[in-house]
Structure 1
């Protein structure tokens, strides 16, 4: 008979364990966050992007190449955030920096 495997045997737990760190991370001033464009590699603060409104949401585009960085759509059934145009986000520890 083999011992019963648990989730901790694999070195992971479920996504609920990330709730605290993600809540802290997402409670920041978004204009101070820096993003890197997946297309051209340009890095800038999100406040420096071009934002277009239309339909049920908004689209952020890179000032360097015009590629879509982020889209945010809110409907009565929920909110969707697509950041596939960003290769990374950098959130400052001190938002005044």
Structure 2
């Protein structure tokens, strides 16, 4: 008997949900994991969408980087798994 292994997508799967919160393409942003210190583009994260909301996890340590939950009236965004999220400025 094998345990069910959750299936994840890459960080690009978060583009739609995050475009409702951010005015820029977040998948190209650089983030640093608060757990292991790995730095990389958000598109390289592992995104799980089979939950009540969306969870992005670090590809290095599997720590939770970001959570997004939308209700009919609000969107909840939790970024506590990131020490920073660096967004490019548009000239």
2:44 paired residue number: 48
Larger Rg, first or second structure (1 or 2): 1
Residues paired across the two proteins, number: 69
Distance 1:41 1:34 in 2: 12
5+ residue gaps, structure 1, are 1-25
Q: What CA distance in whole angstroms lies between the structure 1 residues aligned with 2:73 and 2:51?
A: 15
Deviation string 1:55-86 (CA, Å, 9 cap, x unpaired) is 33100000000000000001113110000000
Which of 23, 28, 33 is the matching residue for 2:24? Answer: 28
Q: Structure 2 stretches of 5 or more lacking a match?
A: 1-21
Flag as ranges the 4+ runs of structure 1 deviating above 2 A.
Answer: none
TM-score for the superposition, normalised by structure 2? 0.71
Higher helix share: 1
Q: CA deviation at 1:51?
A: 0.2
Paired residues of 1:56 and 1:75 also in contact (CA < 8 A): no
State the secondary structure of the residue aligned to 1:58. strand
The TM-score with structure 1 as length reference comes to 0.67
2:17 aligned partner: none
